[in-house]
Amino acid sequence: MTAPSALETASTADVPAEAELTDGYHLVVDALKLNDVDTIYGVVGIPITDLARLAQAQGIRYIGFRHESNAGHAAAAAGYLTKRPGVALTVSAPGFLNGLVALANATTNCFPMVQISGSSERHLVDLKQGDYEEMDQLAAAQPFVKAAYRVSRVEDIGRGIARALRTAISGRPGGVYLDIPAAVLGSIMDAEEGAKTLSRLVDPAPRQLPAPEAVDRAIEILAGARRPLVVLGKGAAYAQADERIREFIESTGIPYVPMSMAKGLLPDNHPQSAATARSLALRKADVVVLLGARLNWLLNHGEAPQWNPDAKFIQVDIEPKELDSNQPIAAPLVGDIESVLEVLAERTKPGQITAPTAWREELAARSAQNVAKMAERLKADPHPMQFMGALKAVRDVVHERPETYIVNEGANALDIARNVIDMQVPRHRLDSGTWGVMGIGMGYAIAAAVETGAPVVAVEGDSAFGFSGMELETICRYKLPVVTVIMNNGGVYRGDDINPLETDPSPTTLMLQARHDLMIEAFGGKGYRATTPAEVTAALTEALASGGPALIDCAIDPSAGTESGHIAHLNPKGITVGNITPAKK
């Protein structure tokens, strides 16, 4: 079924015959262009097909996906990478709901994104008369997003888009839903009047400066610290305040721990990085500066025994509601990171904040020990191939190409790659993020390639890859420089679980012999099968040199990996943990 064209659905009742006309489709595209939206990620269908066509014809790049969730994840990643809202476009009801997963994920991760969905006839939806793809999408979106808006009149399109973009990008960034009913898209109005309804945002994400007394409070606490620590989160990466952050870290000498997506903000081999002495750093730090990082589950909520129970927290965040959410914050610094660090630098007296040498040396010694242990583990080259072996090969190849973006999801594939693959440049690692979600892989990879033109290596667990695998076709259709590397151990977590009844495969079993490399060949990409680290190295080197779409299926030992990776403790503890234990009668 094809969508009715703009003119077929138009109502021209109120417009004089001689006037030059515009319609909802044109006004949406004009409003987006006026606000510098240059790319839309979406899936077409009723009622937005002509919108995608028109956007493309008017010079906005349209990237068409196979599933809205993946288009949405791409828009979210685009928002994170560019600091401008990524835009996703979906059809009504089911398409809208598919996209909503990504929009909610963007909100959770604080990525700026706008999902625009077409919707069915309002009067039919509101009386539940059973329209095509009937759903009250505005109400459905509301609980999952930063804000949800609906445009009900064609003359409000400009305002609706401006409002959606500003809401997504200002303050704490997040996902915004914009509902545009089909009838509004098809409405016609005088072109001159229509142009007057559009506006370009002035200062879309205004700076937010902290109060001087708040900064002085933080300086005083830091000046008295004996074991200070900075935690860099993805909010710090997003802020694009790279120079300021480097200056703050290096001028104070404070050791830092990067959260996974903040890796590369300073190169992972930086002498002040305590990433490889993380447990010790958290356990002993007496003053902790949270720079765009939340004290959520990823940081054990700031609780002992992982943290020093007497630690004082200084939290730099643009969102005041975040403060005190888990631990009391001794010095809240509400503002954008660039501004906060600027004021902090201005108000700090020379030499006032310095990290004591004994503390730096203690962490450096632990780091050296841990690095040596890791080097030993990486040296081993057992057969069948283990995660470590395959990922060390990936690490060595991308180390030579620091411009490469890394996308990473899975359980063991995520945990091990995060530790093994060093990052050297800011914002070059995109992963499962705050929810620990699976399914972001191909969407994030496509966005990274589209937005930057740089090569992308997506390191995927075989299970995680399945959520977005059909987008290999999208990668091939747009000829994107994305190399997907699959850690194929034939299972969710691992591939050797057994169903004691031997009826069906166990819940965590996938096909061990699956040839993901053949999938990409179906779409004209290059597939490789690797059974040793040397084969991974050769395949990845060749694939990156070719600049085209490729997939490397790494045959990993099915008994490699642990259940739930590093977060097994989050599984509820009953009497049947892991393999089945019969309950006592």
- The residue ranges that bind ligand ADP (CB under 6 A) are 109-110, 172, 233-235, 238-239, 259, 261-262, 292-294, 296, 298, 316-319, 322, 336-337, 434
Measured from the CB atom, is 54 or 448 closer to ligand ADP?
448
CA distances to 55, 78, 203, 453, 478 from 37, in Å: 10, 11, 15, 17, 19
Sheet holding 39-42, edge to edge: 61-64, 39-42, 86-90, 113-119, 175-181, 147-150
Q: Give the nearest distance from C-beta 240 to ligand ADP in angstroms.
A: 8
CA–chain centroid gap for 204, Å, is: 21
Task: Please state whether beta strands 429-431 and 482-488 pair in parallel, antiparallel, or not at all (unpaired).
Answer: unpaired
For ligand ADP, the closer of residues 158 and 235 by Cβ is 235
Q: Which residue is nearest to ligand ADP (CB)?
A: 235
Q: How far is the CB of 415 from ligand ADP (least distance, A)?
A: 15
CA angle (306, 310, 313) in 5-degree steps: 85
Rounded CA separation 23/6 (Å): 8
**Cβ atoms of 236 and 337 closer than 8 Å:** yes
- Identify which of residues 90 and 109 has a Cβ nearer to ligand ADP in the complex: 109
Nearest residue (CB) to ligand ADP, 259 versus 414: 259
Distance between CA atoms of residues 578 and 573, nearest Å? 10
CB of 471 to ligand ADP, least distance (A): 25
Taking the complex as a whole, how short is the minimal distance between the CB of residue 435 and ligand ADP, in angstroms?
10
Smallest distance, ligand ADP to C-beta of residue 276, A? 18
Please tell me the distance from the alpha carbon of residue 11 to that of residue 15, in angstroms, as a whole number: 9
Closer to ligand ADP by CB, 138 or 425: give it: 425
Beta bridge partners, 407, equal 430, 458
**E strands, 185-254, in order:** 188-190, 228-232
Min CB(212)–ligand ADP separation in Å = 18
Q: Based on CB atoms, which residue is closest to ligand ADP, 238 or 359? A: 238
For residue 243 the two structure tokens come to 């120079």
Closer residue to ligand ADP, CB minimum distance, 316 or 551: 316
Q: Which is nearer to ligand ADP, 292 or 332 (CB)?
A: 292
Taking the C-alpha atoms of residue 525 and residue 516, their distance in angstroms, rounded to an integer, is: 12
Whose Cβ is closer to ligand ADP: residue 300's or residue 370's? 300
**Locate tokens 């002498």: which residue?**
271
Contact, 67 vs 101, CB < 8 A?
A: no
The overall longest dimension of the chain from CA atoms, in Å, is 85
Q: How far is the CB of 100 from ligand ADP (least distance, A)?
A: 20
> Alpha-carbon torsion 516, 544, 79, 89, what sign?
negative
d(CA 107, CA 223): 35
Q: What is the dihedral of CA 2, 3, 6, 12, to 10 degrees?
A: 120
Which one-letter DSSP state was computed for residue 66? Answer: S
Nearest to ligand ADP of 159, 301 (CB atom): 301
Residue 256: helix, strand or coil by DSSP? strand
* Tokens linked to 9: 């659905």
Give min distance, CB of 207 to ligand ADP, in A.
9
Least separation in angstroms between residue 551's CB and ligand ADP is 29
Between CA 447 and CA 74 the distance in angstroms is: 5
Closer to ligand ADP at the Cβ: 273 or 509?
Answer: 273
Kindly state the smallest distance separating residue 258's Cβ from ligand ADP, in Å: 8
Q: How far is the CB of 107 from ligand ADP (least distance, A)?
A: 11
